[in-house]
Structure 1
Amino acid sequence: MSYDRTLSRVETYFDRTATRTWERLTSDAPVSRIRETVRAGRDRMRAQMLARLPDDLQGARVLDAGCGAGQMTAELAARGADVVAVDISPSLVGIAEARLPIDLRGRVSFRSGDMLDARLGRFDHVMAMDSLIYYADADIARALATLGGRTDGRVVFTVAPRTPLLMTMWRVGKLFPRADRSPTMVPHSPASLAQALAEAGAPGRLAALERVTSGFYISQAMELAS
């Protein structure tokens, strides 16, 4: 499936099907035990990604690529960054904008659309938490080549790791009609991504960071550094 077709499916899922679920998951509201593990895993992953950037981001322009309900956005702005927060789902962007503390609103520009849009400009750093997990190697490589070419510092992102559990879930998920399920995470290995990046001519060095496993949340952090 091409990048554009996958992007369309992701938009439909998050903007029409799962908006209320993600609004609750990313709040302090009570959730099921399974979703508690996902919430905890996402909190750990976000903290790890933020640790790759300076504590003081005064004067830095940072892209929150796939900002969702805005948790990463708020933390970047609190560090002093000028943040461009973009998501394919206008509904999630609306939630993120409504939740942002008043004192941080002057630091954030919210956009709905493709995180690869050239009109977003250049950045010092890019954060892409769980926004590339539905794409194939070649599409991720092209996305990173695009983002890396417009970024002076780090592109920190996540992928679904190629673990036995996720590979089993992926194969079973392919048995069901696409119309009846959410976009499927595509598992990757650092080696396969490195090869795809080399073929795409992406600038910088690729490094695997920590993998976070928390119940049903399994995600691999990675970094493309200039």
Structure 2
Amino acid sequence: MSYELTRARVETYFDRTATRTWEALTSDAPVSRIRETVRKGRDEMRARMLSALPADLRGARVLDAGCGAGQMTAELAERGAEVVAVDISPELLKVAARRLPDHLQGRVTFRAGDMLDPGHGTFDAVFAMDSLIYYSPADIDAALSCLSSRSEKTIFTVAPRTLPLMAMWYTGKLFPRSDRSPVMVPHAPERLIARHNGRDLGRVSSGFYISHAMEVRA
């Protein structure tokens, strides 16, 4: 499946099917035990990715590629960065904008559209947390090349090729059938690190959340 077709499926899922699900998952609202493991894993992964950058980001321009409900966006802005927060889902962007504290409003620009659009400009860093997990190896290679050409470093995650992850995903236990996400494509982090001269930032495994972080430089 091409990048454009996959992107369209992801847009349909997040913007029309599961906005409320992800709004709850990324909040303090009560969720099921299964979703609680996902929430905990995402919090741990976000902290892991942020640790790859200095605590003081004043003067830095950062792209949050696939910002979703805006948790990463807010933390980057809190560190002083100028953040361009892009997501394919206008509905999730509304959630992110509504949640952003007033004192950070001047540091964030929200944009609906393709995270790879060169019109977003150049950056000191790009974050793509779980926003590339639905794409093929060829599409991820192309996306990383595109992002790296406009950023000093790109910090991203993939779904690692592990039997437990794929077993859990295909049994559909993460979400009810009515709001199940498009199927992730598993990847070998070692291949991506070698192909893009990257740096391994480690794996987070929390119940039904398994994700692997890496960094590539321009």
Do the structures match in fold with TM over 0.5? yes
- Residue 221 of structure 1: aligned partner: 213
Determine helix, strand or coil for the equivalent of 1:158: strand
Q: Which segments of structure 1 move beyond 4 Å, counting only runs of 4 or more?
A: 169-173
Report if aligned partners of 1:127, 1:155 keep a CA contact under 8 Å in 2.
yes
Q: Distance in 2 between matches of 1:182 and 1:220?
A: 19
Distance 1:44 1:11, change over 3 A: same
The Cα of 1:191 is off from its aligned counterpart by: 3.1
Q: What does 1:167-206 correspond to in 2, within 5 Å?
A: 167-169=166-168, 181-194=180-193, 198=195, 205-206=197-198
Q: Contact 2:168–2:208 at 8 Å: present in 1 too?
A: no
SS at match of 2:214: strand
- So what's the TM-score if we normalise by structure 1? 0.90
Counterpart for residue 84 of structure 1? 84
Tell me the amino acid that sits aligned with residue 151 of structure 1. Answer: S
How many residues align? The count is: 214
**8 Å contact 1:170–1:186 — kept in the other structure?**
no
- CA change 1:185–1:65 in 2 (3 A) is same
**Structure 2 gap ranges (5+):** 173-177
SS of 1:188's partner is coil
**Counterpart mapping for 1:1-226 below 5 A:** 1-152=1-152, 154-169=153-168, 181-194=180-193, 198=195, 205-226=197-218
Aligned partner of residue 183 in structure 1, secondary structure = coil
Judging changes above 3 Å, is the alpha-carbon distance between structure 1 residues 222 and 6 closer, same or farther for their aligned structure 2 residues?
same
For each residue in 1:89-123, what CA deviation from the matched residue of structure 2 results, as whole angstroms up to 9, or x when unmatched? Answer: 00000100010000000000000000000100000
Residue 172 of structure 1 deviates from its aligned partner by 6.2
1:185 aligned counterpart, secondary structure: coil
Q: Deviations over 1:123-149 (max 9, x none)?
A: 000000000000111100100000000
Q: Is the 8 A contact 2:130 2:156 kept in 1?
A: yes
State how far apart, in whole Å, the 1-side matches of 2:179 and 2:59 are. 45
* Structure 1 residue 194: Cα displacement: 4.4
Alpha-carbon distance in structure 1 between the residues aligned to 2:70 and 2:45: 14
Aligned to 1:95, what secondary structure does the other structure show? helix
Q: Any conservation in 2 of the 1:41–1:217 contact (CA below 8 Å)?
A: yes
Give the distance between the partners of 2:209 and 2:87, measured in 1 at CA: 21
- TM-score, normalisation: structure 2: 0.93
From the superposition, tell whether residues 180 and 17 of structure 1 become closer, same or farther in structure 2 (CA, over 3 Å). closer
Structure 1 runs not aligned, ≥5 long: 174-178
Distance (Å, rounded) in 1 between the aligned partners of 2:82 and 2:3: 28
AA matched with 2:141 = A
Question: What percentage of residue pairs aligned between the two structures are identical?
Answer: 68
Whether the aligned pair in 1 keeps the contact of 2:158 and 2:211 (CA below 8 Å) is yes
Residue 209 of structure 1: how far off its partner (Å): 1.5
